[in-house]
């Protein structure tokens, strides 16, 4: 199962909150705010944990041949992707 990116949590929370505020459904307004808080927390955690990579990991470029299926390389967004992946599971960018 793929992880839901932080921007999706923020967007869904914003839509739920604004719609429920307009319709005056208080429970869903608070639920939307919870989604927004989760999105902000995931975004902050991504920035804090993403900076802990070593310089060697950032410079490593792995072989993309099919016989090395256990290796990873980095997408343009900076997240690791498997050799056989067609799309990045984080940003959705096409890899091949």
Cα maximum dimension of the chain: 57
pLDDT digits (tens, 9 = 90+) for 19-30: 898 888 888 888
Taking a C-beta distance cutoff of 8 angstroms, is the pair 77, 90 a contact?
Answer: yes
Summarize pLDDT for 49-70 with one digit per residue, the tens. 765 554 545 555 444 444 444 5
What is the residue extent of each domain of the chain?
1-52, 55-96
Which SS3 state, helix, strand or coil, does residue 94 take?
Answer: strand
User: Model's pTM, two decimal places?
Assistant: 0.47
Under 8 Å between Cβ of 71 and 87 = no
């Amino acid at each position: 199962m793929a992880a839901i990116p932080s921007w999706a949590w923020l967007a869904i929370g914003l839509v739920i909150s604004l719609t429920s505020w307009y319709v005056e459904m208080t429970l869903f307004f608070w639920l939307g705010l919870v989604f927004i808080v989760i999105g902000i927390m995931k975004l902050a955690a991504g920035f804090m944990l993403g900076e802990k990579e070593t310089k060697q990991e950032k410079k490593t470029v792995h072989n993309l041949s099919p016989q090395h299926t256990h290796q990873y390389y980095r997408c343009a967004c900076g997240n690791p992707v498997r050799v056989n992946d067609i799309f990045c599971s984080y940003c959705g960018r096409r890899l091949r």
